[in-house]
Chains A and B, each alone.
Chain A
Amino acid sequence: MTTATTQTAAATLRVEDLRVQFHTPRGVVRAVDGVSFTLRPGERFGLVGESGSGKSTIALALMRLIKPPGRIAGGRILLEDEDLAALPEDAMRSVRMARIALIPQGAMNSLNPVMRVKQQIIDGILAHERERSGSRNGSRSKRDLEERVAELLESVGLRREVAERYPHELSGGMKQRVCIAIAIALRPSIIIADEPTSALDVVVQRQIMQTLGAVQARLGASVLLIGHDMGLMAQFVDRVGVMYGGKLAEIGPTREIFAEPLHPYTQMLISSLPSFDRETSFVKLAGQPHSPLNPPSGCVFHPRCPRAFEPCPARVPVLREVRPDRFVSCHLYDGAVES
Chain B
Amino acid sequence: MGVTTGTMAPALRDSVFTELRTRVRGAGGHLRRNPKLLLGLVMLIALLALGTLGPLVIDTDTARPMSVIPDQPPSREHLFGTESQGRDMLALVVRGIPLTVEIGLIAGAIGLGIGTVLGFIGGYTGGIVDTIIRSAADIMLTVPGLLVLIVVAASIEGLVSVEMIALVVASLAWMFPTRTIRSQVLSLRERPYVEMAKLNGMSGPQIIFRELMPNLLPYLGASFVGAVGSAILAAIGLEALGLGPQNEPTLGMTIYWAIFYSALLRGLWWWWAAPVGVIVILFVSLFLIAAGLDELANPRLRRAES
Contact = CB atoms under 8 A, between A and B. Distances in A.
Interface in B31-55: 33
Interface in B274-306: 303
A69 interface: yes
A335 interface: no
**Range class of the A interface residue count:** under 10
A68 to B, nearest CB: 7
Contacts of A68: 303
The main secondary structure of chain A at its interface with chain B is loop
A324 interface: no
Contacts of B303: 68-69
B95 to A, nearest CB: 44
Contacts of A25: 33
A68 B300 CA distance: 12
A69 B305 CA distance: 12
Contacts of B33: 25
Contacts of A69: 303
A79 B33 CA distance: 42
Interface secondary structure of B, over-half rule:
helix
Interface in A313-337: none
A69 to B, nearest CB: 7
A207 to B, nearest CB: 29
Interface string A55-71: 00000000000001100
Interface string A23-47: 0010000000000000000000000
Nearest to A69: B303
A25 B303 CA distance: 10
Interface in B167-181: none
A292 B22 CA distance: 24
Nearest to A68: B303
A69 B304 CA distance: 11
Interface in A4-32: 25
A22 to B, nearest CB: 11
Interface in A68-105: 68-69
A86 B33 CA distance: 34
Interface in A226-254: none
A27 B303 CA distance: 15
Nearest to B299: A25
A69 B299 CA distance: 13
B26 to A, nearest CB: 13
A167 B152 CA distance: 48
B298 to A, nearest CB: 14
Nearest to A67: B303
B18 to A, nearest CB: 22
Nearest to B33: A25
B185 to A, nearest CB: 24
A335 to B, nearest CB: 46
A25 B33 CA distance: 10
A68 B33 CA distance: 18
A271 B1 CA distance: 59
Interface in B63-120: none
Nearest to A25: B33
Interface string B147-182: 000000000000000000000000000000000000
B192 to A, nearest CB: 15
A123 B303 CA distance: 29
A68 B302 CA distance: 12
A69 B33 CA distance: 16
A68 B306 CA distance: 11
A25 B34 CA distance: 12
A249 B33 CA distance: 38
A25 B300 CA distance: 12
A68 B304 CA distance: 10
Interface in B238-285: none
B245 to A, nearest CB: 47
3 contacts: A25-B33, A68-B303, A69-B303
Interface of B: 33, 303
Interface of A: 25, 68-69
Q: Which 3 A-B pairs have the closest CB atoms?
A: A25-B33, A69-B303, A68-B303
